[in-house]
Amino acid sequence: MVVLITSDDERIVVEDDIAKRSGLIRDLLAAPWDPKDGDREYMGIELPIVSSDVLKKILEYCEHHKEEPFDDTYESEDMFADIDEWDLNFITADPHMAFEIVLAANYLEIPPLVSLGSKAVANMMRGKDAEEICDMFNIEKDFEP
Amino acid sequence: MTTDDIMINFLAIESMFNPKVQPPVARLSPELLSMVFEFLALHKDGLPQASVLKPAVARVCRYWRQVALNTPQLWRSLNLSGPRLARRLWERSDNSPVILRWVGSWLELDPVHEELIACISQRPARISALALEGEHSLIAQILGQLPSVLPSLESLFLNSDEPSATLLPLNDMHAPRLRRIDIDGIPVPWTSRLLSSANLRALTINNLGSDLPPLRLVLSCFAALSSLQVLDWAGELPVDSESESATGPIAERAVLMPALIFLCLDGSAAGCITLLRYIRRVPSDRARLVLCCDDAGDRGHTWQQRLWDAALAHWHPRARALPALTLLTNTHALHIAAGHASLLNDQYPPDWNTNPPLNLCLGVSNPRQLPRMMRALGPRVADACRDGVRTLFVQNDFQRMDGADWGSCLLQMPRVRLLHVVGPHAALSLATFVATADAAPAAHKVEAVLYPDVRRVLFSEIQFADVASRAGVACWQLAQWLVDASTPSGGRPALGAMEFYDCGGITDEDRVIDETTY
């Protein structure tokens, strides 16, 4: 088991197989560990830019995909392939969470989830003009064409 | 690091610390934002989007603009009829695949256009889509100037203003990655290598004119399209002539199209029946079939039954129940669906390769023929739908269907879970059927027709005062029967919801209720 420590100091215990869907965690677990630094499981892995609610969502995704082979590339042939129905429901359940998921998945190095989240964000913007995008994401429009 | 890179990084940092910009959108790095923009430049089906000429994301803020300007995929839609802007976009899109468009029949090719096309032709591998719309001769001119081998072409859209029998110079064109062909008003190059691409996923043919190819040529072409998922053919359809029928049994000449999901045939009943007899596919619950026959209503019930039988025998050789059915005219529709089947009147959606299917739709152009068609098909529909139908959608804006039509279909569908009634005449038909004096009392009829499985009833666009005065039964009475019948007893679950959208005349005060959930 691996202990993940979120930005809001929650300790989340997760199975190795699920945690290792993240390239970052996989690398950290593979790195040599000096016992003088303490018990590895107790020390946990700090994820300072991932909040607990976002991490739980990401772990839900990792759990669902744990049987699949690792995909470490962003440029795979099926980058624009159909979105699986489970994935679609997962990423569209809370549209604004999609941004957080993209950021966290990028930090945790989970390329398929980054792609999935990016597609969801792109779909949110599809068909909208600049003003609508600014309003939707609360962006200050500091540019006039 | 280039000046652009420095500017992007500066703006990214500035954006992250700008208190007016809320995270997390502002925290997307240039690389992530660029990836989002790349997806934005694509259609849902994964093909390049042709309509993105001035991406909105480039006008959101300075940071996004810089990222957008450095995302070549956003600038790859080139309108050849505006050659100067197209030239700039050709350069800004860097080495990305481009979409070449021409829209406008009033323009002629001038030397500036030709120079641009010559420039683009030097890099044929960058052409991923061609969308040419205009006069036939102009399309021929543009095609004639392009290289014959387009190794990256995925989408080809050709639309002639005036249908012409003259073949375009497509026979020598080779595009091994071609996934989609849309041809409108132009003869299909049946012998071209374009139509034998193993990668072809979608073929849309419109307005071929009367100069039809022999059926055997069409079938031999279809036989090569092992990956074709969508076949959408509107206009004249080939008909099995007597001489062709004599060349061998249907089973021997039928072609298997193993990947076919969506088949839409819009033409004569004879043409639909012919193609249905020869096209075979692997049975699938994703299968979707739409038949729109201009003459199905007018040629009599024998043709309607033949059409129905051809569709069923072809499409569901092993199915025990018909998942979905729509009888559709301009003003009438009876829509019966199971599972995820959903929308009425939709053509195949952009995400046709992922969307759950609507399975069968029969259409007639003469709305007055629908009741007759329903009478002819009633028992067959009932047989096919008895166990599978979960959703019943009734739209009837023009004239009501009589009780016998309802009886032949509705009474045989005891598993309906969702009933959606749209329009005053559909409501009138339902109310009339329920209220008509016969052996069964009205309340019992409601229970027998709609129960035990119905969970949700929707009424849309209905003035119930009119229905009440004409059918002798008021909406509240109908609603009361539905509610009474849903009272849990003997293990029956209660009605989950009764909803009214854009309805009026429900109460004594004629109060309009826009959205009400019971």
B335 DSSP β-pair partners: B326, B393
In a domain, B343, yes or no: no
Residue in B20, B59, B177, B179 to test binding to A, most A beta-carbons within 10 Å: B59
Which structural domain, as residue segments, surrounds residue A40?
2-137
In a domain, B64, yes or no: yes
The sign of the CA dihedral A72, A74, A80, A83 is: positive
Mean pLDDT of B319-330: 54
The mean-pLDDT minimum among B81-85, B159-163, B306-310 falls in B306-310
Residue A22 confidence (pLDDT): 92
- Give the span between the Cα atoms of B95 and B76, in whole angstroms: 9
* B294 and B309 Cβ atoms separated by less than 8 Å: no
Mean pLDDT of A99-127: 88
* B101 and B132 Cβ atoms separated by less than 8 Å: yes
In a domain, A142, yes or no: no
In a domain, B393, yes or no: no
Query: Is B46 close to A81, i.e. CB distance below 8 A?
Result: yes
Which structural domain, as residue segments, surrounds residue B51?
1-75
- Give the span between the Cα atoms of B374 and B399, in whole angstroms: 14
Q: What is the mean pLDDT of chain B?
A: 71
Which pLDDT tens digit goes with each residue over B426-465? 777 777 766 665 656 666 666 655 556 677 778 888 877 7
Helix, strand, or coil (residue B516): strand
DSSP count for chain B of H helices, then E strands: 17, 19
The sign of the CA dihedral B350, B337, B322, B375 is: negative
The mean-pLDDT minimum among B16-20, B133-137, B478-482, B489-493 falls in B16-20
Residue A129 confidence (pLDDT): 84
* B15 and B61 Cβ atoms separated by less than 8 Å: yes
- Give the span between the Cα atoms of B507 and B468, in whole angstroms: 11
Question: How many domains are contained in chain A?
Answer: 1
Residue in B27, B44, B60 to test binding to A, most A beta-carbons within 10 Å: B60
Nearest to B325 by CA among B375, B393, B272, B417: B393
Cis check: omega of the bond before B452, within 30 degrees of 0: yes
Which pLDDT tens digit goes with each residue over B176-187? 999 999 999 888
The token pair at B383 is 């047989």
Question: How many domains are contained in chain B?
Answer: 1
Query: Is B21 close to A138, i.e. CB distance below 8 A?
Result: yes
> pLDDT grade, residue B284 (50/70/90)?
low
Distances (CA, A) of B280 to A33, B145, B354: 62, 39, 21
In a domain, A70, yes or no: yes
How many CB pairs below 8 Å do chains A and B form together?
A: 81
Contacts of A102 in chain B (CB under 8 A): 28, 32, 36
Helix, strand, or coil (residue B419): strand
> pLDDT grade, residue B157 (50/70/90)?
very high
What percent of chain A is predicted at pLDDT more than 70?
86
Mean pLDDT of B295-319: 63
Residue A104 confidence (pLDDT): 93
| Predicted model pTM | 0.67
Q: Is the pLDDT of residue B126 over 90?
A: yes
In a domain, A131, yes or no: yes
Interface of B with A in 226-255 (CB under 8 A): none
Residue type, position A87, single letter: D
* A60 and A104 Cβ atoms separated by less than 8 Å: no
Query: Is B40 close to A130, i.e. CB distance below 8 A?
Result: no
In a domain, A145, yes or no: no
In a domain, B33, yes or no: yes
Q: What is the CA radius of gyration of chain A?
A: 17
The token pair at B457 is 């009833």
Q: What is the CA radius of gyration of chain B?
A: 28
Q: Are strands B332-337 and B391-396 parallel, antiparallel or unpaired?
A: antiparallel
In a domain, B3, yes or no: yes
In a domain, A26, yes or no: yes
Q: Is the pLDDT of residue B139 over 50?
A: yes
Which pLDDT tens digit goes with each residue over B385-414? 666 666 676 666 555 555 445 555 555 566
The token pair at B481 is 């029967």
In a domain, B71, yes or no: yes
Which pLDDT tens digit goes with each residue over A4-33? 999 999 999 999 889 989 999 988 888 877
Query: Is A81 close to B32, i.e. CB distance below 8 A?
Result: no
Q: What is the mean pLDDT of chain A?
A: 82
* B94 and B88 Cβ atoms separated by less than 8 Å: no
Contacts of A134 in chain B (CB under 8 A): 60-61
Residue B21 confidence (pLDDT): 43
Consecutive H or E run containing B103: strand B98-103
* B297 and B373 Cβ atoms separated by less than 8 Å: yes
* B458 and B421 Cβ atoms separated by less than 8 Å: yes
In a domain, A129, yes or no: yes
B279 DSSP β-pair partners: B255
The token pair at B303 is 């043709």
Strands (E), B279-370: 279-280, 288-293, 324-328, 332-337, 360-364
> pLDDT grade, residue B323 (50/70/90)?
low
> pLDDT grade, residue B364 (50/70/90)?
low
**Assembly ipTM:** 0.85
Contacts of A138 in chain B (CB under 8 A): 21-22, 25
Residue B488 confidence (pLDDT): 58
Consecutive H or E run containing B15: helix B3-17
Interface of A with B in 82-141 (CB under 8 A): 82-83, 85, 99-100, 102-103, 106, 114-115, 118-119, 121-123, 125-126, 128-130, 132-134, 137-141
- Give the span between the Cα atoms of A2 and A40, in whole angstroms: 9
DSSP letter at B288 equals E
- Give the span between the Cα atoms of B78 and B93, in whole angstroms: 10
Which pLDDT tens digit goes with each residue over B215-226? 888 999 999 999
Residue B58 confidence (pLDDT): 85
Nearest to B272 by CA among B334, B183, B361: B361
In a domain, A84, yes or no: yes
The residue count for chain B: 518
In a domain, B502, yes or no: no
Which pLDDT tens digit goes with each residue over B330-346? 555 555 554 333 333 33
- Render A48-111 in DSSP notation, one character per residue: TT--HHHHHHHHHHHHHTTTSPP---SS-TTTTSPPPHHHHHHHHSSTTHHHHHHHHHHHHT-H
Contacts of A57 in chain B (CB under 8 A): none
The token pair at A128 is 């909208």
Using a CB–CB cutoff of 8 Å, tell me whether B25 touches chain A.
yes
Q: Among all residues of chain B, which has the CA nearest to that of A128?
A: B56
In a domain, B425, yes or no: no
Residue B214 confidence (pLDDT): 86
**What CATH number is given to the structural domain containing A40?**
3.30.710.10
Residue B28 confidence (pLDDT): 82
The sign of the CA dihedral A5, A10, A16, A17 is: negative
In a domain, A41, yes or no: yes
Using a CB–CB cutoff of 8 Å, tell me whether B483 touches chain A.
no
Nearest to A72 by CA among A30, A39, A29, A105: A105
Mean pLDDT of B41-59: 59
Query: Is B57 close to A143, i.e. CB distance below 8 A?
Result: no
Nearest to A117 by CA among A56, A47, A48, A57: A57
Q: Among all residues of chain B, which has the CA nearest to that of A101?
A: B24
What percent of chain B is predicted at pLDDT more than 70?
53
